[in-house]
Amino acid sequence: MNRDGLPPPAVGSTFPTTWWTLVIAAADSGRPEARSALESLCETYWYPLYAYVRRRGYPADQAQDLTQEFFVRVMEGRYLDRADREKGRFRAFILTSLKFFLSDESDRSRAQKRGGGRLLSFEMSSGEARYQREPAHDETPERIFERRWALSVLERVVDRLRSEFVQHGRVEHFDRLKSFLLAQSDTSYAALAAEMGKSEGALKVAVHRLRKRYRDLFRQEIAETRADGEDVESEIRHLASALTRR
């Protein structure tokens, strides 16, 4: 713990390797740890795909079944031949693969309830409630996917940052500072400093370091959703554009 009450950066990454390696390794029945890591990655990013399927016109129950079945197939090592043409981005790979999956009538007709009996450990039951809160205007499936993907990245980074504080018993500290992460908080520095028993200057330093750690984790998250770990800046620009387009 440093003098500002911030935990030291976590050692290593939540995902020990790139998504590309995970997809390959997860298809090997002798690598359960890879399947578990890939499933965790899919758990983070399932909703943008569910929203895409729904916006394509599928009813809620069928969209849930198809999304679940699709992830099962990804973890079986399907669609790997499509990765190279997508330049290594997990986002592009997963959407192109989903389109391929949906266009296959035999996949659609064979999809059974909850992934043909092969369950994933995470639930998608909240998907429809979230989808009903999407804008009602006629937005394309691709646009809704891109925006929700970008938001999922941000949510994942906040979760990773919070986990570092949890590991060091400082979750309350994080919960007080997190409002300063992405926007100016309604609470003033002076008021929060007094509440936390800090000087205003010390609080500003703590917030600065929190934001820096957030940026580091954000870049790390982007790098982990690329096969080669390169071209992080272009992916950041793409996600920013997805969030600001109207």
pLDDT in tens, 59-88: 998 998 899 888 888 877 777 666 555 556
- Report how far residue 222's alpha carbon sits from residue 231's, in angstroms, rounded to the nearest whole number: 9
C-alpha Rg value of the chain to the nearest Å: 20
C-alpha angle with apex 235: 220 to 141, nearest 5 degrees? 120
Q: What are phi and psi of 226, to 5 degrees?
A: -125, 145
Does position 13 have pLDDT exceeding 60, yes or no? no
- Report how far residue 213's alpha carbon sits from residue 200's, in angstroms, rounded to the nearest whole number: 20
pLDDT-derived band at 40, boundaries 50, 70, 90: confident
Q: What are phi and psi of 66, to 5 degrees?
A: -65, -40
Q: What are phi and psi of 89, to 5 degrees?
A: -80, 125
pLDDT-derived band at 225, boundaries 50, 70, 90: confident
What single letter denotes the amino acid at residue 190? A
pLDDT-derived band at 114, boundaries 50, 70, 90: very low
Residue spans per domain, the chain: 19-114+124-244
Tokens 């935990």, residue?
Answer: 7
Mean pLDDT of 216-227: 83
Model pTM score: 0.76
Does position 161 have pLDDT exceeding 90, yes or no? yes
